[in-house]
Structure 1
Amino acid sequence: MAHDGAGEWLLDLAQAHRLSPAQRQIVQRMLGMFPDVAFLSTVEIAERAGVSQPTVTRLAAALGFAGFPEFRAALRDAVLAGIPDQRIPHRQDAAVAAIEQERANLESLKRVVGGDPMNQAVRLLAGSGPLGVVGLRASAALACYFGYFARRVLPAVTVCTDAGAVDDDVLQLSQQGASALLVFAMPRYPAGTVAAVRLARGLGLATVVVTDTALVPFADDADVLLVAPVGTGLVFDSHAAVVTLAISLLDAIAKTDPHRTQQRLEAHESLVDRWVHDT
């Protein structure tokens, strides 16, 4: 999406870098300080944003600048450039930009779901009984989401979201005859997630890792790496593409044994009247 004005320049810059939630919050507050923000010190920005001065300095580094003076010079250039439409992006503008980013993320999945790694992941996961699913911290909800629906079509699914117990869970899966492990690893990548992947491989389990970029430092520890970019335009990551990839993966696994899938879905359907609230 094309952006006009200094505020849009800052928003684009933030979306192009991996920022922490705290750093994104500072950017959002800075967007409301234009054009003055380009002429403020780190102390003044910190006071207005309600954060510490070192936090503002670290933001400049996270955005790719050698230091805050270089970042402020770039801000000034953007403000003084005289670009028509010096409109300041509000929160609504940031949300619209985030939706556009997620649209691009979803578009990128076409290459993933039609590629050889996806086919390999389906073969490995469909052949594992039980199937283990790991997701810690920010990835816990993704693991639970996948596991909730996976139990509708697969006979044995174990979801691991407790960092303190994940090693025990992986060991137990191996002892129960599992042959593959599905791992969701979204930023920031928990050390326990990487340790679980390495333990699984050491125990002879194939590892399928769903993450946000092929450049993760633990890429070599995965037998199959499936990439689904995350949205970074808001304070917290958004996972539209990751959820779509997860459910597409499960759909493909279910189709490897259509008879079993149909039987299990019909059995589940017979229980719906026990819990659904009909309005």
Structure 2
Amino acid sequence: MEDSRQDLMRTIQIKFPRLSKGQKLIAEYILKHYDKAAFMTAAKLGISVGVSESTVVRFANELGFSGYPKLQKALQELIKNKLTTVQRIELSNDLITEHNALKGVLKSDIENIRSTLEKINHQTFEDVVDLLFKSKKIYIIGLRSSTALAEFLGFYLNLILDNVKVVGYGMSDIFEQMLGLTENDLVIGIGFPRYATRTIEALSFAQSRNAKVVAVTDSLLSPLAARSDYSLIAQSNMASFVDSLVAPLSVINALIIAAGLREKEKISSTFTDLEDIWEEYQVYSYKSKEE
């Protein structure tokens, strides 16, 4: 990550002498405040440094980007794992306001799903589904904000496969919960910026045991992807201090459904039994017979 930042900043420094007066103002601002620039539109960046929006676009082109959005995304990739929650709140003020929160967040999540659909490797997805059925045992780990994703995946996969264990904080350490891990097993690690250190360590442990490792994460540059055999990339660009997990959840949903479609008869039998149990023990609210 640090090397990537240095590369981009070095490119700006190298090209600086050949830039126009207006472009130099943009370059100086980015070099000093790249964390803020990453979440500004071209128009807002132009206003901040006193140049036109078209000058900002030409600056991005001069650096080798096809447009300003590409430069902006490159800047966001550099900083998103380093931002504290307080910094996220400060930066989000430029993106989401109290008056446009609903529309702004929904539009951001729609973009995350659209981008995920374009970028995700379909063959990798199919390979991961195959692994679910080939593995002796499946361990799922997702900590902090990713806990909800791990629990969701574990809950439904257990109804299909019966050999799934969700690893998390509890009475025993994470490594103790994975003590029986072998080369015949699969570990699914779920993590997004800011990446939980324990999840990364768990995937390294899995590799040391020669288990297959799948990462559900936001980038091939993610520390989870670096420790996996297969990576399912789901975009999670933040709209504010809350991590956007909509696209990752959609990918996980697709995994569950793809696995379920291979076990249609078992799924049908399982849910028939569950419906009887749920009704007998009033797990859900059922309408009375009179209605």
Query: In which range does the TM-score fall when normalised by the shorter chain?
Result: 0.5 to 0.7
Q: Is 1:223–2:287 an aligned residue pair?
A: no
- Of the candidates 197, 212, 221, which is equivalent to residue 218 of structure 2? 212
Q: Which amino acid aligns with 1:249?
A: L
In the TM superposition, residue 256 of structure 1 has moved relative to its aligned partner by 2.5
Q: Which residue of 2 is the match for residue 267 of structure 1? A: 273
Q: Deviations over 1:71-105 (max 9, x none)?
A: xxxxxxxxxxxxxxxxx963232542332121111
Query: What SS class does the counterpart of residue 259 from structure 1 fall into?
Result: helix
Q: Which residue of 1 is the match for residue 58 of structure 2? A: none
- Of the candidates 62, 66, 90, which is equivalent to residue 97 of structure 2? 90
Query: What SS class does the counterpart of residue 158 from structure 1 fall into?
Result: strand
In the TM superposition, residue 198 of structure 1 has moved relative to its aligned partner by 1.4
- Of the candidates 183, 186, 193, which is equivalent to residue 199 of structure 2? 193
Q: Which residue of 2 is the match for residue 121 of structure 1? A: 128
Q: Which residue of 2 is the match for residue 37 of structure 1? A: none
Give the 5 Å matches for 1:94-113: 94-111=101-118
Taking the aligned partners of 2:201 and 2:255, their CA distance within structure 1 comes to 24
Q: TM-score, normalised by structure 1?
A: 0.68
Query: What SS class does the counterpart of residue 179 from structure 2 fall into?
Result: helix
Q: Is 1:137–2:201 an aligned residue pair?
A: no
In the TM superposition, residue 143 of structure 1 has moved relative to its aligned partner by 0.6
Taking the aligned partners of 1:230 and 1:249, their CA distance within structure 2 comes to 18
Q: TM-score, normalised by structure 2?
A: 0.65
Q: Which amino acid aligns with 1:170?
A: M
In the TM superposition, residue 260 of structure 1 has moved relative to its aligned partner by 2.2
Q: Deviations over 1:242-268 (max 9, x none)?
A: 111111111112222322222222222
Taking the aligned partners of 1:159 and 1:209, their CA distance within structure 2 comes to 15
Note if contact 1:112-1:118 (Cα within 8 Å) is conserved in structure 2: no
Q: Which residue of 1 is the match for residue 175 of structure 2? A: 167
Q: Which amino acid aligns with 2:248?
A: V
Taking the aligned partners of 2:186 and 2:73, their CA distance within structure 1 comes to 37
Note if contact 2:191-2:224 (Cα within 8 Å) is conserved in structure 1: no
User: Would you say how many aligned residue pairs link Structure 1 and Structure 2?
Assistant: 218
Query: What SS class does the counterpart of residue 100 from structure 2 fall into?
Result: helix
Provide structure 1 residue ranges, at least 5 long, that are not aligned to the other structure.
Answer: 32-87
Shift in CA distance, 15/93, structure 1 to aligned 2, threshold 3 Å: farther
Taking the aligned partners of 2:188 and 2:220, their CA distance within structure 1 comes to 16
Q: Which residue of 2 is the match for residue 258 of structure 1? A: 264
Q: Which residue of 2 is the match for residue 276 of structure 1? A: 284
Q: Which has the higher contact order (CA 8 A, sep 6+)?
A: 1
Note if contact 1:160-1:169 (Cα within 8 Å) is conserved in structure 2: yes
Query: What SS class does the counterpart of residue 171 from structure 1 fall into?
Result: coil
Note if contact 1:113-1:245 (Cα within 8 Å) is conserved in structure 2: no
Shift in CA distance, 224/213, structure 1 to aligned 2, threshold 3 Å: same
Note if contact 1:14-1:24 (Cα within 8 Å) is conserved in structure 2: no
In the TM superposition, residue 5 of structure 1 has moved relative to its aligned partner by 6.4
Query: What SS class does the counterpart of residue 27 from structure 1 fall into?
Result: helix
Q: Which residue of 1 is the match for residue 188 of structure 2? A: 182
Taking the aligned partners of 1:262 and 1:24, their CA distance within structure 2 comes to 45
Q: Which residue of 1 is the match for residue 155 of structure 2? A: 148
Q: Which amino acid aligns with 2:266?
A: R
Shift in CA distance, 218/160, structure 1 to aligned 2, threshold 3 Å: closer
Taking the aligned partners of 1:242 and 1:172, their CA distance within structure 2 comes to 28
Give the 5 Å matches for 1:237-248: 237-248=243-254
Provide structure 2 residue ranges, at least 5 long, that are not aligned to the other structure.
Answer: 1-39, 49-68
